[in-house]
Amino acid sequence: MRDSGFVESSSTQDAEEEDTMGQLRSFDMTKGGLIDRGFQTRPPQPIVPNLLARRAESRRATCPEIWLFPETSKPLKRVVLRVYGSVCVGKKTLCSQIHHHAANATPESVNILSTECEESGQSRSINFLLNGEEVQLEILLESALETSPFSPHITMFMVVYSVTSRESFTTAANLLYRIFQHRKNTPVPVILVGNKMDLKRKKLVGTIEGRMLAKIYKCAFVELSALMAMNVDTMWKEILTQIRGVEADSRSLLERLVDRGRSIARSCEEIVHRIRRGGDGLSDLREMNEPKEEDGQEKQVNE
């Protein structure tokens, strides 16, 4: 009896874990601002059939080598957030707050980075929904700069300094210079964060100085307190805004060529289908090329 009860309890726990795995935190970015949708069901992942299992019905009518993949399915969007800054400016606490906003809806369930993640300098990947699309956010602490600008993911940078340390502010300025010098020809989404704003009596770096530095490098600026969770919502909104801003530019040339090829193949397929039905496609083409009778009558009246 005890064994059966243990099996039942473990099965219920597995079922609960499966239910939570199917739920993701959802956000919508609109013109009015950020909307928190709570938890929503994870969108179904597209199932690509095997090459041997494909049938002739799944081929294009005009181009047999082009398969009819579901056009509504979109791949998982991967975003890498690289966090830089001096020692003891609150980078790990800031990352835990980002993880909390992306994965939890209640302030009682704040997820702190594990010791393994802190030792390795890399946090877990976080999945959430942004305007109905699943996004995977990976936070990297003190990682090396990328040497190749061509990457299959969106790369963001967050430079953190402490408002109680003038030295950390100078380091942040040098980091911004290195980032923008490393990527001169590519748009770089960067967020400058001034942490520990709750320590007003020990404040050495003014808010105006942070804004002016962000204005020089044309990046976003947020002043907050990661420990007290002050203005963390503003930082999270800025992260989502940056993701939406680089969404259009992040599409590779291959993806654009594939989309263009699909649209051309679809239009050709419709014309061939009309021709096979009874020549409707030819009549449509003739109507498009031949001048209308009304145009001929107007010309006669003008003469």
Give the count of alpha carbons within 13 A of 166, CB side only: 1
Tell me the C-alpha distance between 102 and 97, whole Å.
9
Same domain? For 236 and 262 the reply is no
Cα 242 from Cα 214, distance rounded (Å) = 15
Structure confidence by residue, pLDDT tens digits, 198-236: 999 999 999 999 999 999 999 999 999 999 999 999 999
Q: Are residues 217 and 83 in the same domain?
A: yes
Q: What backbone torsions phi and psi does residue 51 show, to the nearest 5 degrees?
A: -60, -35
pLDDT at 68 over 80: no
Alpha carbon 150 to chain centroid distance?
A: 17
289 and 214 part of one domain: no
Report the residue count for the chain: 303
Residue type, 24: L
One domain, residues 114 and 236: yes
Residue 21, pLDDT > 60, answer: no
Bridge partner list, 222: 193
Shortest CA distance to 205 belongs to which of 162, 260, 259?
162
**% of the chain at pLDDT higher than 90:** 29
Please say whether the beta carbons of 164 and 196 come within 8 A: yes
- Kindly give, in sequence order, each residue whose CB lies less than 8 Å from that of residue 190, ignoring residues fewer than 6 positions away: 156, 157, 158, 159, 176, 179, 180, 217, 219, 220
Neighbours of 102 (CB within 10 A): 21
What is the total count of domains within the chain?
2
Containing domain of residue 92, as a range? Answer: 77-245
In a domain, 99, yes or no: yes
pLDDT of 164 reads 97
Residue whose token pair is 């502010």: 169
State the distance between the two ends of the chain, measured CA to CA, in whole angstroms.
Answer: 102
Angle, alpha carbons 273-277-278 (nearest 5°): 125
State the Cα–Cα distance between residues 26 and 90, nearest whole angstrom. Answer: 27
One domain for residues 190 and 290: no
Averaged pLDDT, 38-60? 57
* Average pLDDT over every residue of 171-190: 88
Report pLDDT for 123: 57
Extended beta strands in the chain, E state: 23-30, 33-41, 77-85, 122-130, 133-141, 154-162, 190-195, 220-223
* Residue 240 and residue 103 share a domain: yes
Backbone φ and ψ of 166, nearest 5°: -70, -30
One-letter amino acid for residue 212 of the chain: M
Specify whether 94 is located in the same domain as 211: yes
For 153, other C-beta atoms within 10 Å of its C-beta total 13
Mean pLDDT of all residues belonging to the chain: 73
Over residues 70-99, the mean pLDDT reads 83
Query: What is the CATH number for 149?
Result: 3.40.50.300
Report whether 194 contacts 221 (CB < 8 A): yes
Residue 236 located in a structural domain:
yes
pLDDT at 19: 43
Q: Are residues 187 and 223 in the same domain?
A: yes
Higher pLDDT, 274 or 83: 83
Please identify, among 226, 245, 264, the residue that sits at the C-terminal boundary of a domain.
245
Residue 35 maps to a domain: no
Domain shared by 127 and 266, yes or no: no
Average of per-residue pLDDT across 228-256 = 78
